[in-house]
A and B are shown apart, each in its own frame.
Chain A
Amino acid sequence: MTNEEKLHMIEDVLELDENTLTPEMVLADIEEYDSMSKLSLIVMIDDECHKKLTGEQLREFVTVQDVLDFME
């Protein structure tokens, strides 16, 4: 999976238009990154990457790049 594909998947979860996210963006600055979107992100990563993301791990993410790295 390419970084671009992963970014699109995150955009889809956050219900953002395509190509609005960049890896260096700070998650806390994204208005749509609320508690429900965080839960959706956990589910998406489980479904698509078969990786279990805990609440604690999620809270440690600072930028979009951190999410991309976890999806590796």
Chain B
Amino acid sequence: MEAGFLDLQGKKIVVAGACGGMGKALSAMLAQGGAQVIALDLNEEALVQLCQQLNGEGHCYRVCDFGHIEGIEPVIDDIIKQCGPVDGFVHCAGTGEVRPLKMSKYPYMVDVMNVNFFSFVEIVRCLTKRKAFNPGMSIVGVSSIGAFYGAPTKVAYTSSKAAMNAAVKCMAVELGGKGIRVNAVAPGATNTSMRRQYESYAQDTDSYKINAIRQFLGVCEPEDIANSIAFLLSDKARMITGTCLTVDGGKMST
């Protein structure tokens, strides 16, 4: 990424799920572009390691359990108290391995919805309170193209992403008056540990084989997704809100 073009210099960006494949690539890119990364994740050891590896100064982290929604507000309040108002938020936290419908019982559905959707809404709620954000704040949720079409074994995951897409549109309208933009990015198949796990389980299924052909530009790298997120975080995207940008190697066009 050319730091000068997107001009993220000095922006304070909260990254939820910063230690996952996508979160790591994004955090590195934002730091490279001069932003201050406030990393959230469950694993403190991984957070420490991440912050040590990021370019530049001022990066910090908070341990956050995205499955425990009631515990999120104190974490965000502490960030605002210690770091001041923020300029952006990206929700990369995600769970939802392959699971056939007959095995998708209510506790599992709730876990997936908590991590993938309710934590997103809760963090946005907390970060858009008065004095918690700077003018021109940009919010990006990492969704999935799975939200747009049916796939076996993905009821929980794709439902949570479809919920995020709907919430993004409503948030964009509701927060527009505060000058806050809200968008989603919907990756296709991306080379992350979640993808590799899915591949290990599902590579013999017809659905996997068909989807692999449909994504005719190939599998995305985490950096491909991070590029689009960085753009939406930047002021270059100042007229874009309430949308879902697909980064899917052409999959949704077939």
- Same complex for A and B? Answer yes
A55 to B206, CA, bound (A): 15
CB of A54 within 8 A of CB of B200, answer yes
CB of B205 within 8 A of CB of A35, answer yes
Say if the beta carbon of A39 comes within 8 Å of chain B. yes
Say if the beta carbon of A36 comes within 8 Å of chain B. yes
CB of A56 within 8 A of CB of B200, answer yes
A binding-site residues for B, Cβ under 8 Å: 13, 15, 35-36, 38-40, 42-44, 47, 54-56
| A interface majority secondary structure | helix
CB of B99 within 8 A of CB of A39, answer yes
A30 to B163, CA, bound (A): 38
Instruction: Provide the residues of chain A in CB contact with B102, threshold 8 Å.
Output: 15, 40
Enumerate 26 A-B pairs (CB-CB under 8 Å) in ascending A order: A13-B103, A35-B204, A35-B205, A35-B206, A36-B100, A36-B152, A36-B153, A36-B205, A39-B98, A39-B99, A39-B100, A39-B202, A39-B205, A40-B103, A42-B201, A43-B99, A43-B100, A44-B103, A47-B103, A54-B200, A54-B201, A55-B199, A55-B201, A55-B202, A55-B203, A56-B200
Instruction: Provide the residues of chain A in CB contact with B201, threshold 8 Å.
Output: 39, 42, 54-55
CB of A39 within 8 A of CB of B203, answer no
A15 to B199, CA, bound (A): 25
B binding-site residues for A, Cβ under 8 Å: 98-100, 102-103, 152-153, 199-206
Nearest chain B CB to A54 CB, angstrom units: 5
A51 to B80, CA, bound (A): 40
Across the two chains, which residue of chain B brings its CB closest to A46? Answer: B97
Instruction: Provide the residues of chain B in CB contact with A56, threshold 8 Å.
Output: 200
A39-B98, A39-B99 known; 17 new pairs, CB 8 Å cut-off, are A35-B206, A36-B100, A36-B153, A36-B205, A38-B204, A42-B98, A42-B201, A43-B98, A43-B99, A47-B103, A54-B200, A54-B201, A55-B199, A55-B201, A55-B203, A55-B204, A56-B200
Instruction: Provide the residues of chain A in CB contact with B202, threshold 8 Å.
Output: 35, 39, 55
A56 to B98, CA, bound (A): 15
A13 to B206, CA, bound (A): 20
Across the two chains, which residue of chain A brings its CB closest to B103? Answer: A43
Nearest chain A CB to B108 CB, angstrom units: 8
Instruction: Provide the residues of chain A in CB contact with B100, threshold 8 Å.
Output: 36, 39-40, 43
Interface centre among B103, B202, B204 (most CB of A within 10 A): B103
